[in-house]
Chains A and B, each alone.
Chain A
C-alpha cells in the first residue's frame, strides 16, 4: 500500500461513502453534545432520502427537547401539544392517506402525558410510524423523573432514587403496545454504537415500507441517553445506558410481521 496517498487525492465525489443526509437542514441542532436525539434524527433523514419520499412524508414533533425538530429535518412537520402527537398524526394520516406520517416522541411525552393517545392510536392500528426515544428522564425541563425512570435512578424529582413502592414501576410502553392487535411491527433498538445505529435505521426503513402497504401502527423504541440530565459525559452515559438501561429495556423485536 502506498501510504503517500494524500488526503487531497481521496477527497473527491467519486470516493464519497458517507455524508450527512440532505434531508437534514444546515442548522446546528439544539441537542446537547452526544445526545441520541441527533443520531435518531440523522437516520430518519437518511431513510427518507433513500426512499426518496421527502415531499411525501409528514412528521409530528412532540413537546420535549425535540420540539424544534422542524428546524433540523427539512420536511413538513407539525408540532403537537404535549403527548398529543399520535392523535395529530391520526388526523393527518386519515386526511392524507397517501402521505407517510410519523411521530417522534420522548418518554415524558409518549409515556406520561400522552399515554392515552399512544395506546389508543396503537389500538386503532393507525397506519403511522411512532418513534419513541426512551432516555428515562424529562430532558428539556431539567431532568425530572419520567414514567420510564429506572428503579433507584436519581432525578431532580426523585433525588433519593425512584422508589417503586410510592412511584410505581418503570413503564415498558413497547411491551404494552406489542400486545395490541393494531400494532404491526414493534421493536426496541438503540443508537449508541455503529451496529446499533445501522439496525435502528433498518427498522425505520421497514416501518415505512409497511406503512406503504397500510399494515397498521409501527412502533420503534430507541433506548437513548440524556448526558445532561444524567449528569454524565456522553461516553459515560452510553456505557451507563448499556449496563443499566438495557437489562430492564432489552433490545430486540417485540412483534415481527409474518411476511418477514
Chain B
C-alpha cells in the first residue's frame, strides 16, 4: 500500500517563535531551534522530518503563515 510522506519548509526569518505549530503536529516533527532569527525569535524546525505526513496541521495554525507543506506518495 502506498504511504504518504510529507515535508515542511519554515520561512525562518518570518517565524515569531510562538510554538503553536509544535503542539499542532500529531507526530512531533517540530521543535524550536536553539538558534534565533534576526528578530531574536527561536524559530520552528523540523527536527524529526521522517515522521512528517504532510497533514498541514502546523501550517493551518501558524498565525504568520510561515510554513509551507509538501506531500507525496512513496
Contacts and interface: CB of A to CB of B under 8 A. Distances in A.
Given A1-B5, A28-B14, A42-B65, A234 B19 contact: yes
Given A35-B63, A235-B19, 18 more contacts: A1-B3, A1-B5, A9-B72, A10-B5, A10-B71, A12-B70, A15-B7, A16-B68, A19-B69, A34-B19, A34-B63, A36-B63, A37-B63, A38-B65, A42-B63, A198-B60, A233-B19, A234-B20
29 contacts: A1-B3, A1-B5, A3-B50, A5-B74, A7-B49, A10-B5, A12-B70, A16-B69, A17-B56, A18-B59, A18-B60, A19-B69, A20-B68, A21-B65, A29-B63, A33-B16, A33-B41, A33-B63, A35-B63, A38-B62, A38-B64, A39-B62, A192-B61, A193-B24, A193-B61, A194-B57, A194-B61, A233-B19, A234-B19
B66 interface: yes
Contacts, number: 101
Nearest to B56: A18
Interface residues of A, number: 40
B9 interface: yes
A203 to B, nearest CB: 15
B9 A11 contact: yes
Contact of B18 (A5, A10, A191, A234): A234
Contact of B7 (A7, A31, A35): A7
Contacts of B6: 10, 17
B66 A20 contact: yes
A40 B19 CA distance: 17
